[in-house]
Amino acid sequence: MAKTKICIVGSGNWGSAIAKIVGANVTKHSDKFEDKVTMYVYEEMVNGKKLTEIINEQHENVKYLPGHKLPATIVRIQTTKLHALKL
């Protein structure tokens, strides 16, 4: 049976909190889910750096969920309105 692919649309407080939970469950149930979770992020600058870069490098959303590390299974992708509409 094929593994289920998971994605999260949004990276604010709620999206980041869910990413933490989903990422842990994907790792725990690796027999059922693909090992990477895509997080669609609206690009914005935080202290002169792209939020997507911060999330990828630090595994933390320092703007919306500071102090909470996101699992390494979370992979961010910058999104545009057009791309989001194609989901």
CATH code of the domain containing 8: 3.40.50.720
Q: Region 33-57: what's the mean pLDDT?
A: 91
Q: Is pLDDT of 53 > 70?
A: yes
Q: Per the structure, how many domains does the chain have?
A: 1
Q: Which residue has the tokens 């949004």?
A: 10
80 falls in which pLDDT band (50, 70, 90)? Answer: low
Is the model more confident about 43 or about 79? Answer: 43
The three-class DSSP label of residue 18 is: helix
Strands 45-46 and 74-79: unpaired
What domain range is 32 assigned to? 4-86
Across 36-62, average pLDDT: 92
Give the global pTM: 0.81
For every residue of 36-61, DSSP letters joined together read: EEEEEEE--EETTEEHHHHHHHHSB-
